[in-house]
């Protein structure tokens, strides 16, 4: 199993069962440095408080939706290069194109399986290579 202990992940979704499901999958993969946020405002505050390597972000959240959060992040020098996966039940082609244009690295459609999340995470962080510490 790959050593994922140095990789920091933030899961931002307004639905607690979704956050729990994603976190469970991540823990099963070997990640241990996981935080969560219940809306976009909380996610942005957390992203400014600590450095993260990956954001899993719901598209539709209260206070600050995922699209607006990503727009803010991509214009912030400290957050612009963060890897972002958008979580959403909305697979409308126009929304997927918009997310990609904003710089979303990948799109995970709800309901998702552990295999889908695992495969997308491994596509970014690798499956068999050893971790060398926090990503830049």
pLDDT in tens, 108-132: 988 999 999 999 999 888 764 443 3
- Helix pair 66-74, 93-102: axis angle to 10 deg: 20
The string of DSSP letters for 15-38 reads -HHHHHHHHHHHHHHT--EEEEES
Asked if pLDDT for residue 55 goes beyond 70, the answer is: yes
pLDDT confidence bin for 39, thresholds 50/70/90 = very high
Residue 91 inside a domain? The answer is: yes
Residue 26 inside a domain? The answer is: yes
Residue 134 inside a domain? The answer is: no
Residue 44: which domain range? Answer: 8-120
Residue 115 inside a domain? The answer is: yes
For residue 21, the domain's CATH number is 3.40.50.2300
């Amino acid at each position: 199993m790959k050593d994922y202990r140095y990789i920091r992940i933030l899961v931002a979704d307004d639905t607690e069962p979704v956050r729990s499901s994603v976190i469970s999958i991540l823990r099963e993969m070997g990640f241990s440095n996981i935080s969560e946020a219940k809306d976009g405002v909380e996610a942005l505050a957390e992203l400014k408080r600590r450095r993260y390597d990956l954001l899993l972000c719901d598209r539709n959240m209260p206070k600050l939706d995922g699209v607006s959060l990503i727009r803010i992040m991509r214009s912030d020098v400290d957050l612009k290069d963060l890897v972002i996966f958008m979580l959403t039940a909305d697979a409308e082609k126009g929304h997927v194109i918009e997310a990609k244009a904003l710089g979303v690295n990948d799109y995970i459609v709800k309901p998702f399986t552990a295999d889908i999340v695992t495969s997308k995470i491994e596509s970014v962080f690798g499956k068999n290579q050893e971790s060398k510490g926090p990503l830049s």
